[in-house]
Copies of this chain bind each other. A is one copy, B any other.
Amino acid sequence: MQVEPIAHIRTCYGEKFGIPRQPGLVEEAWGRIEFTPDYAVQDALRGLEGFSHLWLIFWFHQAAETTWKPTVRPPRLGGNQRVGVFSSRSPFRPNPLGLSVVAIDRIEEVDSGSVIHVKGVDLVDGTPVLDIKPYIPYSDAYPEAESGYVTGIPPKLTVKWMVERPEARLARLIEMTLANDPRPAYQKDSARTYGCMIENVNVSWRANEGEIQITGLEVLDIDRHTIKGN
């Protein structure tokens, strides 16, 4: 069975580390769905403007070459307890298919078709998108569903700027991203300095006692408007 990308999503996250662990955790996390030439047909999105959210089925391209294992260690369980891969949303799966709800911000008509601007992404820049489906609450929303070891939205950390704060929008995106504590579950080292790529900024930070301290911002000279290969 063969699948192919209908689109790629450009996002504010240039590398895996730091990306929210579920969609919707960082409302400011933007994405731009750009269709591949065969699927850049404006008609294929007719009526989508009436929906507030959509599903993305995507390819975990950075995990795709890894052999799957029956069990994984979700960050939620501190990284030291194993659950079945089908009881997790881990990217390391037999078929490396991902599933995320995102909010539709706006649909832009461009020469090459349409671009869907979305919010709340948990995807790395350049992720191949295999399908887009409208979110239908009556068949998709089960707010009372029981979810085992996943007991709710993880607590947010406070974020403090030790360097000059950038413009408001970027500052908020960085704060909201780091508030989710991107550190690996097995490594909570207060002496260590971490780095995250958010847009074209390399953000240095450390964490201590429930507080994230931003210690450096380095603006890189990269073009965030070119699709990265996968």
Chain A residues in the interface with B (C-beta under 8 A): 1-6, 22-25, 38-39, 41, 43-55, 57, 59, 64, 70-71, 82-89, 93-95, 97, 99-101, 128, 130-150, 152-153
Contact = CB atoms under 8 A, between A and B. Distances in A.
Contacts of A39: 94
A51 B146 contact: yes
B84 A46 contact: yes
B137 A144 contact: yes
Contacts of A87: 45-48, 50-51, 134
A209 B147 CA distance: 42
Nearest to A230: B1
A138 to B, nearest CB: 5
A45 B84 contact: yes
B142 A137 contact: yes
Contacts of A57: 57, 95, 97, 99
A134 B88 contact: yes
A35 to B, nearest CB: 9
Nearest to A132: B86
Nearest to A22: B139
A3 B97 contact: yes
B135 A142 contact: yes
B147 A95 contact: no
Contacts of A45: 84, 86-87
A137 B146 CA distance: 8
Contacts of A143: 137, 141, 143
A136 B89 contact: yes
A148 B47 contact: yes
Nearest to A90: B133
16 contacts: A1-B130, A3-B95, A3-B97, A6-B95, A25-B139, A43-B70, A44-B85, A46-B87, A47-B149, A53-B146, A86-B131, A89-B134, A101-B140, A135-B147, A137-B144, A138-B147
